[in-house]
Amino acid sequence: MSHKVDLGHAVFGDPASQLQVQFTAVGRFKRPMVSPFESSGFNETQLPELLTAWVTEAPEIELRFDIDITPCLERTLTIFVTSIENAICSSKVWPDLGFTIIFKSCDYSNNDNGFMSSILTFGICRDVSTPGQSSRRKLPSILKNPPSAHPPPDVPSATLAAIDIHLHYAFPPGFENKCDEAENFSSQVFSERNLDGFVDFVNPMQQHSIPHNKGAEKHSMSLYRLLDAGLQRLLLPASKKVSRIVMVGDGRLGKVHELAPAALSPSYRQAMDQRGVSIPIISKAIASMIEGSRSPDIADQMKNLLRRIDTSLIDSTPTSSGPSLNDAIKSSLWRISQTKLRKMKAPRLTTSFFPDFSGSMSTDPDDDGDICMLFEFSKDLDEVLEVNDYDDLFPPTYANTSQEMTGELNDLMEEICMEMDSESSFRDISSSSPATTFSIPTSCQPLRTRSPCSSPNMLLSDPVSDEGRFSVLEFPEN
């Protein structure tokens, strides 16, 4: 069964062109049939539990973009869509995260507001080594293989299956003249041309020299910069600001890498894999020492621990025989490690999804560099998603079911966990980016081969609910 979780929304503005984008994201998570999320949907009380679950990536994560734009910039959207496929697939961010990305499909449609809409679908899967590529820089095996760490049975688990992103590009109130200029520019160019009984056939390589295409190209670069800012905020840890894109208003985007660090945080993934190997060994040793102890206090703490673990199993019903001491210690150590690693800050990066378009220099010759984005989006964001106090989704501290453990057993496990936390597990791996070479691995085949944008089917047909700040959209079981 799958569930959709609203990841929030934000409005980003480009001072160079005054163009803004409303960026809305929804995550789709799949879970086992038996788990703490067995109800019909997520609610506010269950969302924090997702932060304590072991969330990994599905065999393929679908990244879907639903893009619409104000009618006066439809020419710009056409140029943008024809180039974004290569820009996203050639981005070096995906290899840094250990992923391969492939283009799957493209579609066009017109929405109810009269805006032209483009729907693009990409598939993201774990990178695998391909023989015969000697020139390709090698990634650590942790970035190429499925996670080797598997949580104990009583730790809830889920998989990240899809990320749906809706982009609405428009000019803010007070800058309608920008839209009028863009709309009338191409008609002025064509009216000045002398077409006395002949037709000009323009080579595609010469199109950038035509004035109306230059205007569209300028706005197309702004579309890239705005999308880049949104993707960085949504998918990556805190990054150093390398462009002039600003956030407008009080919108808030959730951090997918915080919800699913095992999928999108290589350092977390590597550290948990290391602990996944050592925790069973340590648990067995601790269980052996406790079982051989004659201390009444340790015996009482052992009984309390077993009782607590037994009542917090996935099916929420105590088992007939109860959990073993070894399993109880293993689960406690796993939860402690998960919590501590989540609190560690990832290194700040200067990563850009589209470095060729993220320059801080203005593309507008009339821009004096002092323009501030003072106007919010004209479209009512509450129509798409109502978000208040979004911090509730990502509390500064995380639930830990083993925090009630006291006495010598708690101290012993905490001490062992502290010794396991090594800064060497959190190396900055951004310097080990491989050369951008993409192939479709056998384990991640697209649904169909690359095709023109001709399919009449909408890939993002599910609207975003407006019933609450953490509204959940249900859809049929797979």
Question: What are residue 11's DSSP bridge partners?
Answer: 22, 248
Worst-scoring range by mean pLDDT, 55-64, 131-140, 374-383, 435-444?
Answer: 435-444
How do the residues of the chain divide into helix, strand and coil, expressed in percent and rounded to 5?
A: 35, 20, 45
Considering 261-265, 391-395, 447-451, the range whose residues carry the highest mean pLDDT is: 261-265
Question: Taking Cα atoms as reference points, which of 6, 5, 1, 23 lies closest to residue 14?
Answer: 23
Mean pLDDT, residues 207-220 taken together: 51
Question: Strand 2-13 vs strand 99-110: parallel, antiparallel, or unpaired?
Answer: unpaired
The model's confidence at residue 198, banded by pLDDT at 50, 70 and 90, is very low
Question: What are residue 68's DSSP bridge partners?
Answer: 117, 168
Question: Taking Cα atoms as reference points, which of 23, 470, 429 lies closest to residue 259?
Answer: 470
Question: Tokens 């105590």, residue?
Answer: 318
| Arithmetic mean of pLDDT over the chain | 66
Give how far Cα 305 sits from Cα of 199, 213, 296, 329, Å.
83, 69, 14, 8
Tell me the chain's radius of gyration from C-alpha atoms: 26
- Tens-place pLDDT, residues 160-180: 999 999 999 988 877 666 665
- For residue 136, the model assigns a pLDDT of 53
- For residue 117, the model assigns a pLDDT of 84
Question: Taking Cα atoms as reference points, which of 229, 251, 253 lies closest to residue 380?
Answer: 251
- Tens-place pLDDT, residues 369-413: 333 333 444 444 444 333 333 344 434 433 444 444 445 555 555
- Tens-place pLDDT, residues 287-315: 888 888 888 888 888 877 777 666 554 44
The model's confidence at residue 335, banded by pLDDT at 50, 70 and 90, is confident
More confident residue, 41 or 371: 41
User: What is the C-alpha separation between 257 and 253, in angstroms, rounded?
Assistant: 12
Domain ranges (residues) in the chain? 2-192+216-260+346-396
